[in-house]
Amino acid sequence: MNIEERKEVFCQNLKLLNKSIYWLKRSIQRVKAAGNFENPSEEQLEIIEALMNRYSRAVDILISKVLRSLDYLELEEINRKLDIVIRAEKRGFVEDYNILIEMKDLRNELAHEYLEERLRDRLEEVIEKSKKLFEVADEINRYVRKLKYCE
């Protein structure tokens, strides 16, 4: 694959991340508008589940698609996910690569947990990690504009 093809793949992945971030922000707004989750209704549970699914999808796109394809574009080794997140820190996308690992760990936990278990704790954690995810996405977009990878 030549450099232009690598750029195209990366830019498509970045566009996918940005779209995913948009929908994640919408889900957070819906959760905040849904009110108290003391005894959540079915509708509230669906709103929360949508948020958690969108968070998980955005984290997957960030790490498995965007960061990986950026490494590929910049001719880095892409054998291990740990190396990918460490390079994200070196590029200035995040102050500590462990934040990305925590995001991925939460994503993995959400995939194996029933929604009603520890609902409030998980909801608050997803919202907090989402804020960090938004910051990382903003940093990546600034980096890409600076290097003029995507038009």
Structural domain boundaries of the chain?
Answer: 3-147
pLDDT at 114: 62
* Spatial distance between the Cα atoms of 87 and 134, rounded to a whole number of angstroms: 18
Q: Is-contact 88 94, C-beta < 8 A?
A: yes
Q: Which of the pair, 39 or 28, is modelled with greater confidence?
A: 28
* CATH code at 3-147: 1.20.120.330
User: What's the predicted TM-score (pTM) here?
Assistant: 0.93
Segment holding 92, helix H or strand E: none
Q: Is-contact 20 54, C-beta < 8 A?
A: yes
Instruction: Tally DSSP H helices, then E strands, for the chain.
Output: 6, 0
Least confident range of 25-39, 67-81, 83-97, 115-129: 115-129
Convert the pLDDT of each residue in 9-35 to its tens digit: 999 999 999 999 999 999 999 999 988
